[in-house]
Amino acid sequence: MKNVDDLIDSAAELAEHGLSKGEIADELNVSRETASWLVERAGGNDGGAPETDAGTTADIHVDWSALGRDSTRLTYAARAMADLLTKEGESVDLTVGIEKAGAPLATAVARELDTDLGTYAPAKHQWEEGDIADHGGGFSRNFAAIRDRDCYVVDDIVTSGTTMRESIDAIREHGGEPVACVVLVDKVGYDELDGVPVHSLVDVVSVDRE
């Protein structure tokens, strides 16, 4: 995808396939507000620019499909992510991937670090409009349980930090301890979230010259 029109077309196609706006945000690597705006534009609503959680209209689309569509490239990226985590804890034996895109990355990270694998489905996958707090996320029972363990948390993109914070809270609620988080791209530039270090392969810095 090279421009906004491509994103609008993609959002319309995903909406036609029944994806929620939260899932569309996840697929297109944009904020929930931007996903909602894209769907509205696709439907002919020419509303104003989307506002993010921080109240600004800025957002950045990240297309990492060149990595995602090739298992070898994905493995190389995950090895670099794993390397960022190696100094963050000696007793960590569980890597938790945030679904959907974080799960394949976490699989490769877990293999590199020789840990068990867990996955977390965030509340945003059920989000359409209104308060996302009305919905809850959850851990898949098909993978390793938290069980009071130290954990690494893996995702592809940090946009506002909402999903990462939710995942951290969920791990703690299940008795686990998030030791560190790692992502491919951090749109905000977090050093930590809720006391947990955040590492990224790429930090995006917005330069406002006005």
**40 or 2, which is more confident:** 40
Domain 65-203: give its CATH code.
3.40.50.2020
Q: What is the pLDDT of residues 142-163, one digit of tens each?
A: 999 999 999 999 999 998 898 9
Q: How confident is the model at residue 170 (pLDDT cuts 50, 70, 90)?
A: very high
pLDDT score of 57 = 47
Q: What is the mean pLDDT of the chain?
A: 85
Mean pLDDT lowest among 8-12, 84-88, 111-115: 8-12
Let me know: does 185 contact 201? Beta carbons within 8 Å: yes
Let me know: does 78 contact 105? Beta carbons within 8 Å: yes
Q: Which amino acid is at 86?
A: T
Neighbours of 6 (CB within 10 A): 13
End-to-end Cα distance, the chain = 28
Q: What is the pLDDT of residues 88-114, one digit of tens each?
A: 877 899 999 999 899 999 999 999 999
pLDDT score of 14 = 84
Measured distance CA(69)–CA(107) in Å, rounded: 15
Thinking of the domain 1-61, which architecture would CATH place it in? Orthogonal Bundle (1.10)
Q: What is the pLDDT of residues 14-73, one digit of tens each?
A: 888 878 777 777 777 777 777 777 888 887 665 555 554 444 446 788 889 999 999 999
Let me know: does 178 contact 197? Beta carbons within 8 Å: no
pLDDT score of 59 = 77
Two tokens, residue 77 = 């990226």
Give the HSE-up count for residue 73: Cα atoms under 13 Å, Cβ half-sphere.
8
Check if 1-61 and 65-203 are the same fold. no
Q: What are the sequence ranges of the domains in the chain?
A: 1-61, 65-203
Let me know: does 21 contact 135? Beta carbons within 8 Å: no
Q: Residue 19 gets which letter from DSSP?
A: -
- The mean pLDDT value for 122-137 works out to 61
CA trace torsion 158, 194, 166, 12 (10° rounding)? -20
pLDDT score of 38 = 81
pTM of the model: 0.78
- The mean pLDDT value for 197-203 works out to 96
